[in-house]
Amino acid sequence: MHYFEYKNGQLFAEDISVEELVKEFDTPVYIYSARTFRRHFEAFDSAFAGIDHLTCYSVKANSNLCVLKMLSEMGSGMDIVSGGELFRVLKAGVDPQKIVYSGVGKKDHEIREAILSDILMFNVESRQELEKINQVAAEMDSTARISLRINPDVDPKTHPYISTGLKKNKFGLDLEQAMDSYMLAKQLSNIEPVGIDCHIGSQLTSIDPFIEALDRIMKFQSKLTDLGIDIRYLDLGGGLGITYDEEQPPHPVEFGQAIKEKLKGTDLTLILEPGRVIAGNSGILVTRVLYTKKTPSKNFIIVDAAMNDLVRPSLYGSFHRIACVHEKNGPDCVADIVGPICETGDFLAQDRKIREVGQNELLAVFSAGAYGFTMSSQYNSRPRGAEVIVDGTKFTLARRREVYFDLLDLEEQCF
């Protein structure tokens, strides 16, 4: 459910027409719906009502400060994966006791910053990382709360690049290694093991892999209890999928029910790290048609957004629904919708059925609120587009469009 709807043949973001926003902010532009963000967060978080839980929004899905502030004000915690994300969430006013820090490659200074901020816990992904955190905490005369990230070897049945809980993936520790590392954690002077964590992948459209992972983790957790390691937090990660095309992912309520059923009778606090399911359908990318061209083998619609703005189609072969901002009758065509970048991999859609469009028409790329702007770059020296947030009848610029000087800002006059 989202608030990007057609009224009288015109696409609206909540109460504001997309055309009006484009007049103000030009293209390409990311448009976010505040009401959709809030609705998604509510739907997800309330699905776990009745048990101790903390929803930690996964910042990498969409890390715009306005988005982080809005979610933080609703009580959301944050799952971060870098020092930069820690910096962002602190700027957004997030309570450090609601921050968990994941990721396989934390650097010394990032660990120090997180300890200094007194975050809730680190999700630790290797034995060496555990030793490093202990060392940094000791130097600071402090103690770090940690979970170990378990790799439960469960197939999430999603794109290989976003599967993370398989044996062959770089993430987490297998059960045997995790046991050794917990024993070590227990002995380390500046480490307090408080939780157990996993994150098996992204864009999951079935509950089964989550339950399989949860079963394995809970079994493991009871072994830890027997060994005198007292776990208070169970972090199930993120990964719940969304509808891009015709996927039918479980509703958060159904997801919540299944998890709550399993946790009944334990005194664990559940942590969840949803990203895509909150942000994905809360944003669109609007682009303008520059040219159309017919070649002997294909039709191309060349638009002013490219893989540097939205890389998911190029990187994962992902499907994003694309539609005209102005609905009108006309013949359909089948075309590749491509950007200006000098790469054959630069496309937003391939062999897509769409109404025949003319120059200057506006197209909306849906489901672009997660892993859209955050994965953008300046490749081909293209300044990044603007991000705008709409809330009812109000709208505000959430990040200004970059200008040419932004391209050179950090570079030196050499020699």
Ligand X SMILES: *Cc1c(COP(=O)(O)O)cnc(C)c1O
Which stretches of the chain bind ligand X, using CB under 6 A? 58, 60-61, 79, 81, 102, 199, 202, 237-240, 273-277, 370
- The CB-of-400 to ligand X minimum distance in angstroms stands at 26
- The CB-of-171 to ligand X minimum distance in angstroms stands at 8
- The CB-of-133 to ligand X minimum distance in angstroms stands at 16
Determine whether 414 is an active site residue. no
Helix and strand element counts for the chain (H, E): 12, 20
Give the nearer residue to ligand X in terms of CB position, either 44 or 182: 44
Give the nearer residue to ligand X in terms of CB position, either 239 or 283: 239
Where do the H-state alpha helices sit in 304-411? 312-316, 404-408
* Catalytic option among 66, 324, 342, 414: 342
Burial environment of residue 368 by CB neighbours within 10 A (0 to 12, 13 to 18, 19 or more): buried
- The CB-of-106 to ligand X minimum distance in angstroms stands at 12
Give the nearer residue to ligand X in terms of CB position, either 82 or 287: 82
Work out whether strand 283-294 and strand 362-365 pair parallel, antiparallel, or are unpaired: antiparallel
Sign of the CA dihedral 398, 404, 407, 411? Answer: negative
- The CB-of-230 to ligand X minimum distance in angstroms stands at 23
The count of other CB atoms within 10 Å of the CB of residue 141 is 7
CB 272 within 8 Å of CB 234: no
Sign of the CA dihedral 96, 100, 102, 105? Answer: positive
Token pair, residue 360, equals 């200057």
Give the nearer residue to ligand X in terms of CB position, either 312 or 352: 312
Query: How many angstroms separate the Cα of 306 from the Cα of each of 202, 299, 302, 345, 386?
Result: 23, 17, 9, 10, 14
Give the nearer residue to ligand X in terms of CB position, either 258 or 323: 258
In terms of phi and psi (left: phi > 0; alpha: psi -120 to 50; beta: otherwise), the region of 237 is left
CB 244 within 8 Å of CB 321: yes
- The CB-of-103 to ligand X minimum distance in angstroms stands at 7
Give the nearer residue to ligand X in terms of CB position, either 61 or 71: 61
Burial environment of residue 161 by CB neighbours within 10 A (0 to 12, 13 to 18, 19 or more): exposed
CB 150 within 8 Å of CB 217: yes
- Which sequence positions are flagged as catalytic? 342
